[in-house]
Chain A
Amino acid sequence: MAFTVYLLCAFASLVCAVLLLRGYRATGMRLLFWGALCFSIFVATNSLLFVDLVVFPQLDLAPYRHGFTLVALSLLLYGLIFETQS
């Protein structure tokens, strides 16, 4: 069950990342670029959960996952703060 959920999260993040990247190319809005970057990292962290438990059960990748999540959020926050001026 948990696998399915995290796979779905990874997939949803991938859709967001692709759509935002496409939007960035069409409009040149840098906010969309930071959003795409954030969701790309979400793809990685959600997929990493799978690697963590199934591929290398003896390894604990949790600190990396949390670290990457924080980086992703910071990138989106940067975009929200610096690239929206209204």
Chain B
Amino acid sequence: MASESLPPAVAALISRYIRSVEQLEVLLLLHGQPERFWTADEVYDVIRSSRSSVMQRLENFTAEEFLETEPGPPRRFRYAPKAGELRSAVDETATVYQTWRIRVIEAIFAPADPVQSFADAFKFRKT
């Protein structure tokens, strides 16, 4: 299975938060320039998917505490995870994505394994 060879933190991050390559690209774009505030249009200019979905991704990542936001208008977003674990998982994902691009993309689309879900269900706290 593709995700087997990815580091556990990367596999966990993908399975929990990432459902599409667009999401991953948005997250890594903001991660690449952590001091910069981005508007949705500026992100769209790089990602080129669709304006409304880019906005949706940015808002979701803010809700999941990867980003912080300035109300604007226009609203601006900056990469700023509060949790150290989240931060290091994204760092690792960015590194892995440069060399193992296909594996990362496969992991995004790989159906979850019921057997592993069975064991993971017994974790009190979700990773």
Contact = CB atoms under 8 A, between A and B. Distances in A.
Contacts, number: 40
Contact of B118 (A22, A26, A31, A85): A31
Q: B-side binding surface: helix, strand, loop or mixed?
A: loop
B52 to A, nearest CB: 27
Interface residues of A, number: 17
Interface residues of B, number: 11
Contacts of B121: 19-20, 22-24, 26-27, 32, 35
Contact of A84 (B114, B120, B124): B114
Contacts of B120: 23
A29 B122 contact: no
Interface in A29-44: 29-32, 35
A76 to B, nearest CB: 10
Interface of A: 16, 19-20, 22-24, 26-27, 29-32, 35, 83-86
